[in-house]
Amino acid sequence: MTPLESAVRLVEAGLVVFPVGLDKKPLVPWSTEKATNPEEAARLFATRPHAAGVAIDDEASGIASIDFDFHKSGGTELGRWFMDYGDEWQDTAVTRTQTGGTHYHFLDPDGRCRTTVGSKRLGIAPGVDTRGIGGYVVAPDSRGEHGSYSWVPGCSPWERAIAPLPEWLPGLIRTTSPSRKRRPGEREGASIPSPNILGLGIPPSLSGFLSGDVLRGVVRDEQTSRYLASYIGVPDVPVGAGFRCILRDDDEHPSASLFRKSDDSLWYRDWTQTGGELEWLTLGEAYAAVISGTTAKLDGPSHATWLRRLLVDSRLAHPAPVPMRALPIVAPAALRRLHEGIRHLFACKWLGEPDAPSPLTRRFLSGWCGLSEMTIQKYLHKLVRDGYLVVDGTVPSTYGPMKVYRPVASRMTPAEAGRIGKTLATVAQYDKNRPWWNEKESKKEQQQHGNENDLGQLDLDLAKCGGD
């Protein structure tokens, strides 16, 4: 069965899907581009013939999926569940994964199950992941790097109805911080807060202009600030109660807490930094530390940008639309990460400064994108040279005039397309005399960052010299 045929069958069963590559990464910006009917599925998959499979958006489909990885003690935990909870809970649709594990699918229309990462500090247990709010799973009839996905015999949704989520299951999920950095815009594995944080519920979404006053109101509002703290990784404990610091992975005892200052703003307190500059962190600074791996005090503009990103990533605010040309699929992984990171940066900054150009310093982008400053310097030059960014003036800074940039949204002309290859029908026939990228550099970046096959927002029609 082809990915398109599988996608059509799944949407007819009421599930929401989108295409993925061999590495399980989305081939579209899946928060906005996904199929809910056969016509949308045909459009998404027909323009992406390189898709290796189909992914199911758990939240949009109203389901939750429990992933037992038998290579990471998932089989042991599965056996314990049978002993503790009986076997009635398994009477639902079940997927066999490419590595021999299983995905148990349950109805969860109220969003009680949050998405986690299977590590010792987040999720249910080693080898057991959950996918719910903000998560997705690869569907059967998909190919992966280690094999194929399939329905367990007799356990497809056409043979066995998807059962309701067991009442006891959400209570098993631990909610401390992930032990790895998230990539810009990444949603798989992000810790989306439970709808019932300390009985407060999910706060209303924000819309429109996120000014400084709006941001100050966010961190002062009890419901919203606790929701954001939970997204960062703070467990659901009362303000003032201790917990293991989310900024380190080696703390075995409580070493941090939340604190409300006199203006009602919620702050993160690191006890190990008592008396130092980094003892007290705003929610924006704590989130920046989780993403970048470096704890630091932020200036006003940087803090506002990180706080807007926190609101966007936690889905309390919609990112501003950023028309920016897509990269060709042959672009190195690190270049694609930088490109998507810059797009995400503008999507957050434009919520407070609509359509304004922005500085793109190596130090800031390194923490924002998870790349080295040397890689930032090399590929930022390429994005400008090849027309994905344009320098739009300068602004004063401590070190003199600083360039500001703006994304380029214009369609590719045939002349521009010629720069990445005279033969546009296939990647293999790219012109080697005037390559816009260096083959040796590309192989080196793939070794450093993985040979990724996804390209998020690839709408580049090479055969027609089209843009995005």
315 Rama sector, left if φ>0, alpha if ψ -120 to 50, beta otherwise: left
Please, are residues 120 and 73 in contact by the beta-carbon 8 Å criterion? no
Rounded distance between C-alpha atoms, residue 100 and residue 68, angstroms: 9
Same domain, 264 and 159: no
Please, are residues 371 and 334 in contact by the beta-carbon 8 Å criterion? yes
Same domain, 376 and 449: yes
Assigned domain for 374 exists: yes
Could you tell me what percentage of the chain is helix, strand and coil, using 3-state DSSP and rounding each to the nearest 5?
35, 15, 50
Please, are residues 82 and 139 in contact by the beta-carbon 8 Å criterion? no
Taking only the tens place, the pLDDT of each residue in 243-267 is 888 887 666 678 899 999 999 999 9
Q: Is 463 helix (H, G, I), strand (E, B) or coil?
A: helix
Rounded distance between C-alpha atoms, residue 155 and residue 137, angstroms: 16
Same domain, 265 and 406: no
Same domain, 99 and 15: yes
Write down the pLDDT at residue 360. 94
Assigned domain for 184 exists: no
Write down the pLDDT at residue 405. 95
Write down the pLDDT at residue 172. 75
Write down the pLDDT at residue 411. 53
Write down the pLDDT at residue 118. 41
Same domain, 42 and 142: yes
Write down the pLDDT at residue 186. 36
Same domain, 339 and 307: no
Q: What sign does the dihedral 379-381-387-391 (CA atoms) show?
A: positive
Q: Is 76 helix (H, G, I), strand (E, B) or coil?
A: helix
* CB within 8 Å of 71: residues ≥ 6 apart: 99, 100, 101, 127
Taking only the tens place, the pLDDT of each residue in 154-164 is 999 999 899 99
Same domain, 389 and 272: no
Write down the pLDDT at residue 370. 87
Same domain, 216 and 358: no
Q: Around 260, how many Cα atoms within 13 Å sit in the side-chain half-sphere? A: 11
Please, are residues 423 and 429 in contact by the beta-carbon 8 Å criterion? yes
* CB within 8 Å of 410: residues ≥ 6 apart: 325, 387, 467
Nearest C-alpha neighbor of 441 from the set 321, 330, 362: 330
Assigned domain for 215 exists: yes
Same domain, 355 and 235: no
Same domain, 354 and 300: no
The structure's pTM equals 0.54
Q: Residue 293 belongs to what domain range?
A: 197-313
Write down the pLDDT at residue 461. 30
Number of folded domains in the chain? 3
User: 175, 209, 236: which is the final residue of a domain?
Assistant: 175
Per-residue pLDDT tens listing for the chain (468 residues): 889 999 999 999 999 999 999 988 899 888 788 999 999 999 889 888 889 999 999 999 999 999 988 877 777 777 778 777 877 888 999 999 998 889 999 998 888 787 875 434 456 777 888 888 888 999 999 998 889 999 999 999 999 899 999 888 877 765 444 333 343 333 333 344 444 444 555 677 787 788 999 999 999 999 899 989 988 888 878 899 998 888 876 666 788 999 999 999 999 999 988 888 899 999 999 999 988 888 999 999 999 999 999 998 888 888 899 988 888 867 888 898 899 899 999 999 999 999 999 999 999 999 999 889 999 999 999 999 988 999 988 988 887 888 999 999 865 454 544 443 333 333 333 333 334 444 444 444 444 444 333 333 323 332 233 333
Q: How many Cβ atoms are within 10 Å of 117's Cβ, its own excluded?
A: 19
